Amino acid sequence: MIETIDLTKIFNIGRKRVLSRQSYAAIQSVKALDHVNLEVQQGELFGLLGPNGAGKTTLIKVLSTLLIPDEGTARVNGFDIMKDPSSVRNSIGTLFSVGDKSFFWRLNGRRNLEFYASMYNVPRNKRRERIQQVLEIVGLSQESSLVYQRYSLGMKRKLMFARTLLSDPPILFLDEPTANLDPISARSMRSYIKSKLNRELGRTIIFTTHNLEEASELCDRICVLHKGHVLVCDKPDAIKGIIKERRSFEITVKNVTASRIEQLKQLITEAANITCEIDRNNCDRHVVQLRVDDLDSLRAIFGFLSQDAFEIVDLSYKRPTLEEAFIYLIQKED
Amino acid sequence: MFKELDKIYCFIKKDIASWSSYKTNVILIVLNTVFGALSYAFWGANAEMSIVTQLYRMPVLGYLLIGMAFSTYISQSLNVVQKASSPWWLEEVLVSPTRLITFIIGSAAWPLIFNSIVVLTYLGIGILFFGLVLNVNILATLIVLILGVASSVGFSMIGAGILIIVKQGDPVSWFMQIFTQLFGNVLFPPEVMPYPLRIIPYFLPQFYFFKCIRLALTGFGIESMIQDLAILLLSCIVILPVGYKVYESCLASAKKKGTLSWF
């Protein structure tokens, strides 16, 4: 459905004066996309993750034909973005993270959608009905007669999403669709994206977000981009599995004497694989919170603490989260 | 084809709704048009310029009112694509399945319709209050209008293309506006200028437009202006495709550099 082949995009970011025998200005450039090879299957909900400037929006803009790549190409719905951009545009709906200025501020929400419905070839006789449908989907039917300039940031976002849905395209590029939404609206949008658009209607969706829980909840597969490179592209659980050795136990114990805590600190300093956090507020009640990374260490800690009559207040096994995996991957790369 | 016409209609509808929502501005524009027309009509009714009567066989009043009325038309046409190419929404239109030519025509439609109303107001004031006599040759007027607007829109596309690259300051539009006012046969015929300057208007399509539109509005047919019309047509044949190509290339360049939505 979507395939990128060695997709590379380089941006010139200015000139740097280079001092040499003959002083000259060298063009500085940054690789926003560096030979990106991806394949997204039909009906897949595909997440793009990455820190700011990783190349997520650039990739979406290239796939939407708004940017021309420097090397490589891509196929969207079977059409080459370079050779057949108009067919690509007929197949996609886009929501960009900074698209709220593209509406007409003096027109109400419905009139704005009427204009864009014509731009997206929604048949004239179906326009009114379709606009009503998308307004209801995004929860803006009550506010549709309000002029756009009165809309809150969240309402603007919803109207952008409504515009994306107007032509009911087979492929959707959603660049941070839930940004600026309140938690209830964000959950409702996520639910619609996954349950209706993706699962029921089979739409192929590429989705960027900084909310890693959101990505974990929604996406069939996730691609982590960093400095234009694909670091990993896999199912969320598989990405979390990259740091499975980082699973840990969190234990809270009480009735540990102050001297024992000091000795414990000493032990932890010597054992590199044990980390310990002491809740300072509760020091006088001798409550200790520990994070232990493996079973052997856990046994050692319990053996050590058993010299006092300690009591376990809480014990939990902590699985690695997507956020931890993400941070691990990015830090490893840096 | 129907889809494209429908899109142009939606552009016009959207522009009218936006424009009419600024009610004070609408009132001021109407007043401006009426007072502008009255000023030039008073001036024209009391001025003498024998060369105008000789060359165009019309009073100075008619010469001035037609010049002023259509100069707003040409001025709008020279700016119309630049105004439409706002970085705010250019990306949203370009990512939709809308052809570039539809976008340009759609963006130009309402400003030109509105300026037709301005033209009618100017001429109406002249006819109703100052005894201006017109004998409109409809076919010739329409042909001259289409060619005049088309050549100006061609320049506008070149200007818009440059603006997409440089972001601020459009030298083409600036140059054409200044030269049209000075050498375009708008308020005075080039024959009143010193000799070397008299040559410049002959290189401006706008000069031929103003010459032909005055003739068409005073009853002359296509055959009476065929030579000037041919030059105007030739300028359209050259400028329109060049303008479109320049605009398209500048858009492609901005897509390559990633500066399409920059200001």
Distance from CA of A279 to the nearest CA of B (A): 50
Asked whether residue A220 carries a pLDDT value surpassing 90, the answer given is yes
Predicted local distance difference test score (pLDDT) of residue B150: 93
What confidence tier does A301 reach under pLDDT thresholds 50, 70, 90?
confident
Residue B114 lies in a domain: yes
Closest among A290, A210, A189, A282 to A249, alpha carbons compared: A290
Task: Indicate the fold that domain A2-241 takes in CATH.
Answer: Rossmann fold (3.40.50)
Widest CA span in chain B: 58
Most confidently modeled range among A13-27, A121-135, A279-293, A297-311: A121-135
The pLDDT-based confidence of B45 (bands split at 50, 70, 90) is: confident
At a CB cut-off of 8 Å and minimum separation 6, what does B69 contact? B37, B118, B119, B121, B122, B123
pLDDT of residue A264: 75
Residue B77 lies in a domain: yes
pLDDT interval class at A104 (50, 70, 90):
very high
What confidence tier does A245 reach under pLDDT thresholds 50, 70, 90? low
Whole-number Å distance between alpha carbons of B237 and A159? 42
* B119 within some domain: yes
Chain A interface, best mutation among B8, B96, B104, B259, by max A CB count within 10 A: B96
Is residue B235 domain-resident?
Answer: yes
- Tally of domains within chain B: 1
pLDDT of residue B203: 92
User: Which among A65, A94, A102 has the least Cβ separation from residue B89?
Assistant: A102
Q: Pick the residue with more confidence: A83 or A22? A: A83
Residue among A65, A101, A119 minimizing CB distance to B93? A119
Q: Hey, what amino acid is at A16? A: K
**Looking at CA atoms only, how far is residue A175 from chain B in angstroms?**
14
Q: Which tens digits make up the pLDDT trace of A116-148?
A: 999 999 999 999 999 999 999 999 999 999 999
Out of A12, A102, A118, the one facing B7 most closely (by C-beta) is A118
Residue A113's pLDDT band, with cuts at 50, 70 and 90, is: very high
What contacts 24+ positions apart, CB below 8 Å, involve B221-230?
B221/B137, B221/B139, B221/B140, B222/B137, B222/B139, B222/B140, B222/B143, B225/B140, B225/B144, B229/B143, B229/B144, B229/B147
pLDDT value of position B41: 82
Query: Which whole number is the average pLDDT over B164-191?
Result: 88
Helix, coil or strand: residue B135: strand
Average pLDDT over residues B64-83: 90
Least confident of A12-26, A291-305, A320-334: A12-26
| Topology classification of domain A248-318 | Alpha-Beta Plaits (3.30.70)
State whether B95 and A116 contact (CB < 8 Å). no
Query: How does the average pLDDT of chain A come out, rounded?
Result: 85
Sole residue written with tokens 């939404």 = A181
* Token pair of A10 as six digits: 């380089």
Greater pLDDT, A326 or A233: A233
| Interface subset of A 56-85, CB within 8 angstroms of B | 58, 61, 64-68, 70
B263 within domain boundaries: no
Mean pLDDT value across residues B25-52 = 82
Domain range for B158: 2-257
Tokens of A223: 């691609």
Cβ distance B17 to A107 less than 8 Å, yes or no, reads yes
CB neighbour class for B188 (10 Å; exposed up to 12, middle 13-18, buried from 19): middle
From chain A, pick out residues whose CB is under 8 angstroms from the CB of B260: 66-67
What is the tens place of the pLDDT at every residue in A39-59?
Answer: 999 999 999 998 888 899 999
Query: What is the rounded average pLDDT of the residues B107-134?
Result: 90
Least confident of A185-199, B33-47, B117-131, B150-164: B33-47
The per-residue pLDDT for range B125-158, each reduced to its tens digit, is 989 988 888 899 999 999 999 999 999 999 999 9
Contacts of B17 in chain A (CB under 8 A): 104, 106-107, 111
B262 assigned to some structural domain: no
Nearest to A94 among B95, B256, B258 (CB): B95
Q: Locate the domains of chain A by residue range.
A: 2-241, 248-318
Cα–Cα distance measured from residue B243 to residue B158, given in angstroms and rounded to the nearest whole number = 5
Nearest-CB residue to A104 (from B14, B91, B98): B14
Hey, is the C-beta of A280 within 8 angstroms of any chain B C-beta?
no
Residue A87 has pLDDT above 60, yes or no: yes
ipTM above 0.95, yes or no: no
Instruction: Return all residues near A151 (Cβ < 8 A) that are at least 6 apart.
Output: A109, A143, A159
The HSE-up count of residue A182 (CA atoms within 13 Å, CB side) is 6
The contacts of residue B28 (CB under 8 Å, 6+ apart) are none
The one-character DSSP state at B218 is B
